[in-house]
Amino acid sequence: MPQPDPASPPAPTASPPSLPASFNVALAAVLTAILLHTVHLATVGKDPQEPGTDQALCLDPNRATWTELAAIPGLGPVRALTIVRHRQRVVAAGSPVAFQNVSALDQVSGIGPATIEDVRRHLRFPTPGPPG
C-alpha cells in the first residue's frame, strides 16, 4: 500500500453546514442596533441626565420603531423587538395605545422592575386627553 506524501495537502473534507437565514437576519439586527447606539453616543457625548432635554433619548414606546427602542440603554434589540410585538398585539386587540405609562411595560415578557427603572428616563407616554 502506498504511503501518503507528507508534502501533499490533506484530502478535502465535507464543508461545514451553512448558517440558517434567520441567524443572518438576527446578526444584521444586532449589528444595526450596535451601530445606532454608537451613533447615538457619538452625537450625545454622554448618557443624558434628564429626559426632555435637547440631548436626551426620550421615546414614546407606543410609536417608536424597534431600532429606536434598541438604542435605549438597558433594552437592546431583543427586548425592543419584544416591546414592538407586544404593542402590535395590544393595539390589534382594540386598545388605542399599548402603554399608558412606564408601569405598563411590566406586561411585556422579559421586562421587569429593574429594566423599567433603567429605561424610565428615556421614555415618554401620551398625555391623557379630557374625559370623553
**Into how many domains does the chain fold?**
1
Assigned domain for 37 exists: no
Q: What is the pLDDT of residues 28-59, one digit of tens each?
A: 777 777 766 665 565 554 444 444 443 457 89
Task: Identify whether the C-beta of residue 96 lies closer than 8 Å to the C-beta of residue 87.
Answer: no
Assigned domain for 7 exists: no
Adjacent-strand bridge partners of 3:
none
At 81, which CATH number? 1.10.150.320
Q: What is the pLDDT of residues 85-114, one digit of tens each?
A: 999 999 999 999 999 999 999 999 999 999
Separation of alpha carbons 71 and 34, rounded Å: 8
Assigned domain for 74 exists: yes
Distance of CA 37 to the CA centre of its chain: 10
Q: What is the pLDDT of residues 111-129, one digit of tens each?
A: 999 999 999 999 998 776 5
Residue 86 corresponds to which amino acid?
H
Q: pTM, whole model, 2 decimals? A: 0.56
Alpha carbons within 13 A on the beta-carbon side of 109: 7
Q: What's the domain range around 64?
A: 59-132
E-assigned strand segments in the chain: none
Instruction: Please report, rounded to a whole number, the percentage of residues in the chain having pLDDT higher than 70.
Output: 67
Assigned domain for 9 exists: no
